[in-house]
Amino acid sequence: GQITSLLFSPSQFSTMSASNLTQSRPAFFILKGIPGLESMHMWISIPFSSFYCATILGNCTLLFVISTEHSLHKPMYLLVAMLALTDLGMSTSTIPKVLCIFWFSWTRISFEGCLTQLFFIHSITALHSSILTAMAFDRYIAICQPLRYTSILSNGRIGLIGLVSLVRATLFILPMPLLLQKMPFCEHREIPYTYCEHMAVVKVACADTRVNRMFGLAIALVVVGLDLSAIGSSYALILRAVLRLSSRQAHHKAVHTCTAHVCVMLTSYTACLFSFLTHRFGHGIPPHVHTILGNLYFLFPPMLNPIIYGVKTKEFWNKVAKYKCWRPAL
């Protein structure tokens, strides 16, 4: 005992005991689901699974019709197909695990699996934002410079836009899991959500997380700020061009051309910004409300987007009607 007391001071003992409470790479995290509503998980899973099935059905129908109908192989519909792919990726990166928590109480997720899910959630969100920006540019060219539309936006350029958007999303988001991989985590590995969101994982770390927090905030402001600025500029120019039109019919046609994209943009960005702000600043929101609303971001926009384009785009609706045994009355 005397030898031990000579070798280690009380402060060193406290440091050693603190180090035993952390480990650089925990084997797993515990996803708590919806805090306070654990007994209701089975009932909550009914609308969640219904919305997810509707998302899969709607977006797969969208992709099937666009891929099989050569008349839809146009820049606008190729962007819609990209949006459908990101919607599928967004829901599939989270909802299957959520349903496993609700149905089977499989609350564990491996450390690597958590960081992988985190990467896909945020990279697909950034990709989704880029595609919405490209769709706004598409509508600007279609209304403000219709005679140059085919020369400015070809199918090849749409593919290039998609590739650049994918590279941008990957490069922006990849540092997030890489930074977290090197951080120590506490023995308390519980994440009070149904999925591994960046800020939720950062809060479990037992170290100074200012770099992680600032990087996440900077990326969110850059991605959303740049994209919303570009979308706003496009629609400002579209509005100016529409107001210059003398024909009321031309007004109606121009507005109808943008309606679907505006609806999709509002549902997507409203849910995205709410989820982002509540994760960072929503300290007064009850945990179960916070978690449910966060999950709705991965359910409602992906489910509604194919419905919006199916209803608002007559050309697409006519193609869908070909695969039914009935035609809607016009």
Long-range contacts (CB closer than 8 Å, 24 or more residues apart) made by 234-237? 234/136, 234/137, 234/139, 234/140, 235/136, 235/140, 235/262, 237/140, 237/144
Instruction: Give the model's pLDDT for residue 290.
Output: 73
Q: How many angstroms separate the CA atoms of 107 and 195, rounded? A: 10
Global pTM?
0.84
pLDDT band at 162 (very low <50, low <70, confident <90, very high): very high
Please name the amino acid found at residue 197. Answer: E
The CATH fold assigned to 28-315 is Rhopdopsin 7-helix transmembrane proteins (1.20.1070)
Q: What does pLDDT average to over the chain?
A: 82
Instruction: Give the model's pLDDT for residue 15.
Output: 41
> Residue ranges of the alpha helices (H) in 174-247?
175-181, 198-202, 210-244
Any idea which of 94-108, 114-128, 243-257 has the lowest mean pLDDT? 243-257
Instruction: Give the model's pLDDT for residue 282.
Output: 60
Q: How many angstroms separate the CA atoms of 34 and 259, rounded? A: 35
**169-198 average pLDDT score:** 88
pLDDT band at 312 (very low <50, low <70, confident <90, very high): low
User: To the nearest whole percent, how much of the chain has pLDDT over 70?
Assistant: 83
Instruction: Give the model's pLDDT for residue 265.
Output: 83
Domain positions in the chain are 28-315
Residue 160, pLDDT above cutoff 90: yes
Q: How many angstroms separate the CA atoms of 109 and 100, rounded? A: 11
